[in-house]
Structure formats: structure tokens, C-alpha cells
Amino acid sequence: MTALLQCRNISKSYGGVHALQGVDLKIEPGRVHGLIGPNGAGKSTFIDVVSGRTRGSGTVILGDVDISSLPPDKRRRLGLSRSFQRTSIFPAMTVRSQLELAATWVDDDNTADLVDMFSLHAVLDEHAEEISYGQQRLVDLALALVGMPRVLLLDEPAAGLSAGDSHSLTDHLLEIARRWNVAVLLVEHDMDVIFKVCNVLTVLETGRLLIEGPPDAVRSDPKVIQAYFGSTA
């Protein structure tokens, strides 16, 4: 299958600290690609650089367009969307109003489908700051999916969710990838979520790519066990 998003030699330094060092990654449509690693491995930094939130070096190609030098708004309009580690919504606006706003410029307004998918009917006319955290997370995800982007970068979407909400999230992610043919890059610490939804895993350690492969192979790889637990025993 042809990669939809190609990231080549992505690097990022903060002063003398190399947060990312020459990471390559390809993401295919209809698949969920997990990006895991210990704290400080550079997972969120990778998403930040690829989405244009942070300036880094390397090449990012979406489809056949080099988007490396484009600002975030242009990347979004070309089909690269993302969510954030912390819920990023518009607290004082109603859920309806912010979804409408997100849909203003898109060719295909899919907000009603998203409301169905995430069961947001009951809170459509509530202010976002007044709904539960789990619902805010879903609104956040819905905002990222308005217009159905081609690539979706998710930075710890299950953080702070209850077990039940987390389970629903995995179902949603699978549906997004399979039904909508979206290429998903998922950064997540919850390994249950990772192993349930990911088709392929990439492991980062101190800014470098450690290993990439199918989840089962990655799970049993001695280098990964060493990185996570400090021992292969």
C-alpha cells in the first residue's frame, strides 16, 4: 500500500538536547500506526514537528505534496489534522457552534455523522466547559475529524479517560481508520489501547527510532523490553 504521509529524517533540538534525531516514518491510509516509547522519547515532539506546531528539520510529504515549510492552518487544509495531549476545545462556545465553525471551509460537512459517532446529541447546545471530561475529549476528537482529514495525528487521546470511555475510544479509532480510510498516527501510553487498535508500531527511545513492525513482534523484541523495563529478563 502507498504511504499517505512520509516523514523523512525528522530532527528537533532544544538547545543542546536532541529531542528527535533523524526519525523516518510512513503512515498508510486505513491503518492505525502506533508511536510508543518511554517518557522523553520524543513522541509528542514528533507530532508537533509533523503538524507544524514546532519548527524542526526533515521532510514531511502528504500524498505527493511537500508540506515541510507550511504553517499549521495550511497543513490542516491539505488534510493533516491532529489532537493535543491536553483537551483543546473552545470552552465558552457550545458544542454545535464549534463544530459548525470547524466545518465552515470544508467541502463535505460531516458534523452530523461525527455527532452520531460520538453520541454528542445531548450536549450539542451545551457550552463545552459544562460537559464531562470524557465528552470534552470526544468533542476534541470530533473537531479534528471535521471535513474528514486524510491523516490524523493523535497525542494521547485516552489520557484521563475512564476504562469505559477508553474502551469506546478504541472502537472509534478503529471505525475512523477502517470506515473513513484515514491514516492515523497514535501516541499513547495505554498499552491496552495500543495493542487493540494498531496495525503497526514504531518505538522511539531518546529521540531515535528503535524498532518498527507488527505489534506482536515489537512486544516481544528484547530492545523494546530493555527500553521500557531496563532489563530483558
Please report, as ranges, the residues that interact with other proteins according to CB under 8 A: 29, 51, 53, 71-74, 76-77, 79, 81-82, 84, 88-93, 96-113, 115, 124, 127, 129-130, 132, 143-144, 146-150, 179-182
| Helical spans, DSSP H, in 105-205 | 111-117, 133-145, 163-180, 191-197
What minimum distance in Å lies between the beta carbon of 220 and other proteins? 34
CB under 8 Å to 233, separation ≥6 — which residues?
none
Name the residue nearer to other proteins (CB basis): 81 or 202: 81
Estimate to the nearest angstrom the gap between the alpha carbon of 134 and the chain centroid: 17
What minimum distance in Å lies between the beta carbon of 206 and other proteins? 27
State the CB neighbour count (10 A cutoff) for residue 105.
11
Name the residue nearer to other proteins (CB basis): 22 or 72: 72
What minimum distance in Å lies between the beta carbon of 197 and other proteins? 19
Name the residue nearer to other proteins (CB basis): 47 or 194: 47
What minimum distance in Å lies between the beta carbon of 105 and other proteins? 6
Q: Please tell me whether residue 189 adopts helix, strand or coil conformation.
A: coil
DSSP for residue 127: B
Name the residue nearer to other proteins (CB basis): 46 or 180: 180
The Cα-based distances of 172 to 2, 12, 118, 180, 201 in angstroms read 24, 32, 8, 11, 19
What minimum distance in Å lies between the beta carbon of 83 and other proteins? 9
Name the residue nearer to other proteins (CB basis): 146 or 197: 146
Name the residue nearer to other proteins (CB basis): 80 or 224: 80
Rounded Cα distance between 56 and 18, Å, is: 11
What minimum distance in Å lies between the beta carbon of 108 and other proteins? 4
Cα angle at 92 between 123 and 148, to 5 degrees? 60
